[in-house]
Structure 1
Amino acid sequence: MRHPRRLFAGVAVLALAASASVVVVRLQQGGSTPGSSAAAVETTPPGDLTDAQKAVRKREVDAVLARRSAAVLKGDVKGFLAAVDPKQPQLVARQRTLFTNLRQFAFTSLTYFVGDERPAPAQIAQYGPTTFSTRVMMRYQLTGLDAKPVQTDVGYTFVRRGTAWVLVTDNAIDETLSPDGHRQPWDFGPVAVVHRGKVVVVVDRGEKALGDKIAKASQGAVDGVRRHWPRPWNGAVMVVAMSEPQVLSILWTSGAGRGWTVAAKAVSLYDGDPWTQRQTAPVSSRIVVNPAVRKQLDQDLLVHEMTHVATLRLGTRAPLWLVEGIAEYVRAASIEDDPKWTVDPYRKTVRTKYLPSMKVLPGQAEFNADGDRAYGQSWWITSYLEDRLGEKKLAALYTDLAQHNTTQAAFATILKKHTGKTAPQLVAAAKTFRG
């Protein structure tokens, strides 16, 4: 969601502090039987390995990775660091930080396995012919947060020394990783993890007070969503509010014309290679807060993003105006649950400033051209639909579109079925709605 000028009164603001974090990544150990075909790997240039030798190498490194994941689950820091190059104290320190971070999360399951090799000539020049740089897939499920396992990728460089594979670099091939699949919260500096009910908040270490404030606001936001989104949602969500701007590789600006600053975003997570095109609904999600606006973080912004989390698993085919319109509708409705607060200033601005120019249901072009206007128009259209249909039937429209909106013809049919209107008729009706 963008961070608009606040057009309504009285939302309690959290004063948030920020501190610096350092970047990094991760991994672990292995061995082979002397005299096996693995021995040939030690002296064969990487480009000359046979398929059989590559299979042996993969099997051996997978064994290292299996011990790595087991060490995390058992809390065995010695086992976790066993394969890390002891000659590199900075690498060991980063890996120790990674272990400490990971142990603060409750994993239902965790596995690492070799993905695809990523040649890194500079690493071969530095470490020799047995150097093996690869994407490593991390498949995991967080207890209480992820209904199913999700997958991310990290990049590691291993070298064979004697009968063991040693991790020598954990960031040399980062540029080859998926743009939004890696850089999880635990991949940077030390973190603190705060739990409040089913809400999990991740902040920088030393900022637990900040985490507590965000957790309290997040729980209030969950309650607001559950009051106004009639579909089942258990309220489980992770909010990442770290000072590190690269968590989950979020871009903090959007729009091509009068764009906007993204204050927070619900990031979708999938089970599968993060590089592949997503054909299925997301498995889980995280809310990531822009470090630059953390001091202005407020509950209504969290309501907007948590609405996205609540609707995410229904499907991803709903049109943009309804996706953002639902989130804005729930946000505004939750504010007005408290008789002391109102969105009347926002209502007036949308009615007088944004509605007269509305000619179509806002799509990507409209959001790119003027984010504030497109969000306001989407909220108004959705509020009109709620006024005519009620929240349950509005949710039914969203669900049908999220799952079955595959073509323009399908969209027109679904819209007519639920609203009795075509798209132009809906625009015209919304413009006459007084709000």
Structure 2
Amino acid sequence: MKHPGRLLAGVAALALAAAAGVVVSRSGDGAGPSGGTAAALQASGSPTPAALTDAQKTARAREVDVLLARRATAVLKGDLKGFLASVDAKQPRLVARQRTLFGNLRKFGFSSLQYFTADSWDAPQLAQKHGPTTYSTRVMMRYRIAGLDAKPVQTDLGYTFVRRGALWILVEDGGIDEILTRDGHRQPWDFQEVAVVRRGKVVVVVDRRETGLGRKVAKVSEDAANAVRRHWPRSWNGSVMVVAMAEPRVMATLWTSGNGRGWTIAAKAVTLYEGEQLGKRFGPPVGSRIVVNPAMRKDLEQDLLVHEMTHVATVPIGPRAPLWLVEGLAEYVRCHAIEDDPQWTVDPYRRTVRSKYLPGMTSLPDRETFDQDGDKAYGQSWWTVEYLASRLGTKKLAALYADLAVHSTSTAAYTAILTKHTGKTPAELTAAVRKYRG
């Protein structure tokens, strides 16, 4: 079997994408703060703008939204000067980071891009540093990458800017990162310069100095996407982004999982949800990004990507499918993709599952099982899906997945749906799987 270790990813985690900045405002041009707001900011002797009324704070946010719209326009039009106009020229490192950010953003090909303020945050240490006009705010970035995202996706970012005379100036681009979405706001474009490699509907992101690796990963990724489409009967166009960077902070992904000895994750499908993200799901899942473990990016194998791309293909259906079905289906497609090549077989895996994991199987694997023994949980889940595919066929298996992913809102609903499609309760299905020899 061409898969020497348990290099498997977990279910999709909350995440969206991030990056942007704050733009400059000139009073009198229709975009700057009103006289009342500006006067209150300048007159306040405290380190925070406590003198502002709620109405003035609302006006300030509205004014900044106008300016953020200009920032988005600068990205879409390739206007570097306009993008950097708001950045504090007294901070060369900040300017350099923003210049790199702009160059990276331009490489992704946004068909739409919007920034807008979500809420302000008290950051006394930043107010003490920058003065009474300091404004720290969480900003949402809503975007759609052409040829990749079926719908706009969204993430948060945090910036601090101050008013100097008639201008709003960006002074911090990471000062309130601790309040942002943990898994989402560190995006590929937020670090060093990247290369974006496209092959068909696959988009691969690597460090600029590793463009050759990007081409290799793109070829493997395209083959993996085609394998998923062969073995998953529901429609999927194969559009996916694969991030294979050396930077370990991208999307704040953790590369070990489980309790005890745990196990290593080689790649992870990170789900994108429609709507605002702040540690909660505010909308339906609309897509995924695959993030590769930096330590394994140069030895990426197709079957690993097949597993993750199965998650990408199924995530938009809904978030309620049980974990054993989510991961079991990904393993099912991965194993069948391996055996597309006559030189490879998963027979050793079959023998291990039959002899080691089935005899003691008392229930369908849940989160606790995955955490305590990932090898056993993945093996049992795969075998369960193999059993269902043999009895139902792949089209009816897909119908079961879709029904559970949308309607499994309670234990009773889960049991009813499973029984309707399979004729078996969870306990009866477990017993049948334990006896199934393949």
Give the TM bin, normalised by the shorter chain.
Answer: over 0.9
Q: Please tell me whether the aligned partners of residues 275 and 283 of structure 2 are also in contact (alpha carbons under 8 angstroms).
A: no
Q: Please tell me whether the aligned partners of residues 22 and 169 of structure 2 are also in contact (alpha carbons under 8 angstroms).
A: no
Asked whether 1:52 is paired with 2:55, we answer: yes
Asked whether 1:245 is paired with 2:248, we answer: yes
1:84 Cα offset (Å):
0.2
Moved more, 78-87 or 122-131: 122-131
C-alpha separation in 2, matches of 1:276 and 1:351: 40
Aligned residues: 418
1:372 Cα offset (Å):
0.8
1:108 Cα offset (Å):
1.3
C-alpha separation in 1, matches of 2:98 and 2:122: 23
Residue aligned with 1:166, SS: strand
1:272 Cα offset (Å):
2.0
Instruction: Tell me the residue number matched to 2:36.
Output: 37
Q: What residue identity is the alignment partner of 2:106?
A: R
Instruction: Tell me the residue number matched to 1:115.
Output: 118
Q: What residue identity is the alignment partner of 2:412?
A: A
Among 182, 195, 210, which residue is 2:213 paired with?
210
Instruction: Tell me the residue number matched to 1:28.
Output: 23
C-alpha separation in 1, matches of 2:177 and 2:86: 20
Q: What residue identity is the alignment partner of 1:414?
A: I
Asked whether 1:228 is paired with 2:223, we answer: no
Is there any run of 5+ residues in structure 2 with no aligned partner, and where? 8-18
Instruction: Tell me the residue number matched to 1:15.
Output: none
Among 308, 321, 346, which residue is 1:343 paired with?
346
Q: Please tell me whether the aligned partners of residues 26 and 187 of structure 1 are also in contact (alpha carbons under 8 angstroms).
A: no
C-alpha separation in 2, matches of 1:29 and 1:174: 22
Is there any run of 5+ residues in structure 1 with no aligned partner, and where? 9-23
Q: What residue identity is the alignment partner of 1:350?
A: V
Q: What residue identity is the alignment partner of 1:362?
A: P
Instruction: Tell me the residue number matched to 1:131.
Output: 134
- With the length of structure 2 as denominator, give the TM-score of the two structures: 0.92
Residue aligned with 1:47, SS: coil
Asked whether 1:106 is paired with 2:106, we answer: no
Instruction: Tell me the residue number matched to 1:14.
Output: none
Q: Please tell me whether the aligned partners of residues 29 and 83 of structure 1 are also in contact (alpha carbons under 8 angstroms).
A: yes
Instruction: Tell me the residue number matched to 1:85.
Output: 88
1:122 Cα offset (Å):
1.4
Q: Please tell me whether the aligned partners of residues 71 and 79 of structure 1 are also in contact (alpha carbons under 8 angstroms).
A: yes
Asked whether 1:399 is paired with 2:398, we answer: no
Residue aligned with 1:403, SS: helix
Asked whether 1:145 is paired with 2:148, we answer: yes
- With the length of structure 1 as denominator, give the TM-score of the two structures: 0.93
Query: Share of identical aligned residues, percent?
Result: 65
Instruction: Tell me the residue number matched to 1:414.
Output: 417
Indicate how the Cα distance of structure 1 residues 261 and 26 shifts in structure 2: closer, same or farther if over 3 A, else same: farther
1:93 Cα offset (Å):
0.2
Residue aligned with 2:89, SS: coil
- CA deviations 1:42-62 (Å, max 9, x no partner) are 222412211222123212222
- CA deviations 1:341-387 (Å, max 9, x no partner) are 11111111111111112110000010011001100110011001111
Instruction: Tell me the residue number matched to 2:307.
Output: 304
C-alpha separation in 1, matches of 2:279 and 2:123: 22
1:414 Cα offset (Å):
1.0
1:418 Cα offset (Å):
1.0
Residue aligned with 1:30, SS: coil
1:38 Cα offset (Å):
3.0
- CA deviations 1:267-290 (Å, max 9, x no partner) are 111232211631542122101111
Moved more, 268-277 or 192-201: 268-277
Instruction: Tell me the residue number matched to 1:19.
Output: none
